[in-house]
Amino acid sequence: MKTRAIILAGGEGSRLGVLTKKRTKPAVPFAGKYRIIDFALSNCVNSGIFDLMVLAQYRPQSLVEHIGSGAPWDLNRDFTGGVKILTPYKARNNAGWFAGTADAVQQNFSFIKQGNPDLILILSGDHIYTMDYEPMVSFHLDHQADVTIGTISVPLEEASRFGILATDNNYRVKSFVEKPANPPGRLANMGVYLFNRSVLDKCLWEDSQRKGSSHDFGKDILPRLVKAKAQVFAFPYTGYWMDVGTVQSYWQAHMDLLAPSPTLKLYNRDWIIHTRTEEYPPARLPARADIYASMICHGCFIEAGARVESSVLSPGVIIRAGAVVRESIIATNAVIESGAVVERAILDKRAHIGQNARIGWGVADQDIRIALVGKNSEVPPGYVVEPEAEIGTDVAISDYSETETVIRAGQTVETKRLANEV
């Protein structure tokens, strides 16, 4: 059986704030050296699936540059398999910007069905997990399914955020409700779908002709298939899985990596997460730097007298003497000057925090509130950025008020200059 994987990577990710101001959500950095989409790509190749298509839409440039020819994932194949990136295009039938996840696949189905794959594996490009898809394929074939949905058990108090399924003793899906206010159960849709190609072709075409449809797999396609009594089955997954679509879940996923026994096995040499990396020298950690329960990538320089606690530092980060970083995510080439304190904050690439500035606080609080500093932005010496405040992208010292040195919760500082869109 020939399986082709389709990775949905067009999400705007507005709930991630400034992190997606200049990039699509799957291109957001994760765990220091990776991008979020690396997990879906690596899961495919580790599962023996080397025929992939990535459907991009919102600000795809960073994603396109990262994936390139697919070489880091052994996907640079010219004739059979490999990775192809597809974006919206103008056609005679007025097709254009994708209206929903199902519409994205429908608009590209003429490309997707080339070569007559038997099975189409549809994945979200913005989830963090390590999953072998081969057992799911075997499950699908053994149950003679039309479609198989990857599922995971979630706490009942969180179930309203997901599509919730009910199954019989043979794992056949009896009901599917998208994001119910009062969830009838805990079995959640994890955004992994395995379709027979002919079934997918038929239901996508029918949905495209249906007025009033939102053209979404969770809201439209899957509930209708279940209601029509199609052979829809649920495949149970029990490993780590996180939808990092919000600032809080993105931050929490990083903190999960720093747990004494993390569930997500980044260091499993039998299941490598591949990525495209830049050349940096080794990290430099002086003897008198105080570092606790953190991930430090190559090229980082932490000066003597600095303190880093429960944080993730991407390549090239510089922490000056006397600076403190706690429970924070610091992206590539960010600089934190002496005396600055960064707590429960996310700093994007090339952020520069001035001397004695304070970004966020509240490491002892149960209520998690995150401060954000965007790509290429500066925070002036001595300024305070409160939890849930944001500094946009490309913000310079001249963009700040000279009299108001505290950026309050809910407030955003934007650049006054023409934004650099590169």
Are 352 and 210 part of one and the same domain? Answer: no
How far out from the chain centre does Cα 347 lie? 16
Contacts of 92 (CB under 8 A, 6+ apart): none
Q: Are residues 49 and 193 in the same domain?
A: yes
The answer to whether residue 421 sits within a structural domain is no
Secondary structure E strands in 186-274:
187-196, 232-236, 241-243
Neighbours of 366 (CB within 10 A): 5
For residue 268, being part of any structural domain is answered with: no
Report the pLDDT value the prediction gives residue 95, as an integer from 0 to 100. Answer: 55
* Six-digit token string for 3: 């399986």
CA angle 265, 271, 273 (to 5 degrees): 80
Q: What contacts 106, CB < 8 A, 6 or more positions away?
A: 204, 205, 207, 208, 215
Say if residue 243 is in the same domain as residue 354.
Answer: no
Tell me how far apart the alpha carbons of residues 213 and 330 are, in angstroms, rounded to a whole number.
Answer: 41
How many other CB atoms are there within 10 angstroms of residue 421's CB atom?
9
Taking 3-state DSSP, the helix, strand and coil percentages for the chain, each rounded to the nearest 5, stand at 20, 25, 50
User: Are 50 and 174 in a shared domain?
Assistant: yes
Confirm if 231 and 145 have CB atoms less than 8 A apart. Answer: yes
pLDDT of residue 417: 74
Residues linked to residue 347 through DSSP beta bridges, in sequence order: 330, 373
Query: What is the C-alpha separation between 59 and 77, in angstroms, rounded?
Result: 25
Residues near 160 by Cβ (< 8 Å), separated by ≥ 6? 179, 180, 181, 182, 183
Choose among 127, 130, 126: nearest CA to 23.
126
Rounded to 10 degrees, the C-alpha dihedral 148/150/155/159 comes to: -60
Domain edge (last residue) among 257, 281, 312? 257
Write the CB contacts of 238 (distance below 8 Å, at least 6 apart in sequence): 152, 153
Cβ atoms within 10 Å of 108's Cβ, excluding its own: 20
Contact status, residue 359 vs residue 344, Cβ threshold 8 Å: no
Q: What is the CATH number of the domain that holds 159?
A: 3.90.550.10
Q: Is residue 94 part of a domain?
A: yes
Co-location of 250 and 302 in the same domain: no
CATH at residue 370? 2.160.10.10
The reply to whether 422 falls in a domain is no
**295 and 249, same domain (yes or no):** no
Same domain as 246, residue 192: yes
Give the chain's domain count: 2
Q: Smallest Cα–Cα separation from 54: which of 42, 64, 43?
A: 64
* Same structural domain, 248 and 294: no
Query: What local confidence, expressed as pLDDT, does residue 422 receive?
Result: 37
Answer for the pair 8, 122: CB distance below 8 angstroms, yes or no: yes
Burial class of 401 by CB neighbour count within 10 A (0 to 12, 13 to 18, 19+) = exposed
Q: Are 20 and 323 in contact (CB under 8 A)?
A: no
Instruction: State how far the Cα of 79 lies from the Cα of 114, in Å rounded to an integer.
Output: 12
Nearest to 308 by CA among 353, 259, 349, 341: 341
Q: Which contiguous run of DSSP H or E holds residue 221?
A: none
Residue 252: give the domain boundaries.
3-257
Same domain as 193, residue 113: yes
Q: What is the pLDDT along the chain (422 residues), one digit of tens a residue?
A: 899 999 999 878 789 999 999 999 999 999 999 999 999 999 999 999 999 999 998 888 999 999 999 999 999 987 778 999 998 765 545 555 677 899 999 999 999 999 999 999 999 999 999 999 999 999 999 999 999 999 999 999 999 989 999 999 999 999 999 999 999 999 999 999 999 999 999 999 999 999 989 999 999 999 999 999 999 999 999 999 999 999 999 999 999 999 999 999 899 999 999 999 988 999 999 888 899 999 999 999 999 999 999 999 999 999 999 999 999 999 999 999 999 999 999 999 999 999 999 999 999 899 999 999 999 999 999 999 999 999 999 999 999 999 999 999 999 999 987 544 43
Same domain, 323 and 249: no
- Quick one: DSSP state of residue 96? -
Could you tell me the two tokens for 197?
């190609």
On whether both 252 and 294 belong to a single domain, the answer is no
61 located within any domain:
yes
Nearest to residue 341, comparing CAs of 331, 356, 363?
356
Strand partners, 241: 129
With tokens 């019989």, the residue in question is: 168
Mind listing the pLDDT tens digit for each residue in 300-325? Answer: 999 999 999 999 999 999 999 999 99
Residues 245 and 381 in one domain: no
pLDDT in tens, 323-372: 999 999 999 999 999 999 999 999 999 999 999 999 999 998 999 999 99
Residue 370 lies in a domain: yes
Cα atoms in the Cβ-side hemisphere of radius 13 Å centred on 53 = 20
CA 190 – CA 236 distance, rounded (Å) = 10
Quick check: is 265 in a domain?
Answer: no
Q: 267 in a domain, yes or no?
A: no
Using alpha carbons, select from 230, 253, 5, 243 the residue that is nearest to residue 120: 5
**Dihedral sign from CA coordinates of 47, 255, 309, 16:** positive
CA distances (Å), 175 to each of 58, 169, 183, 213, 232, in order? Answer: 32, 13, 12, 19, 10
CB 360 within 8 Å of CB 387 = yes
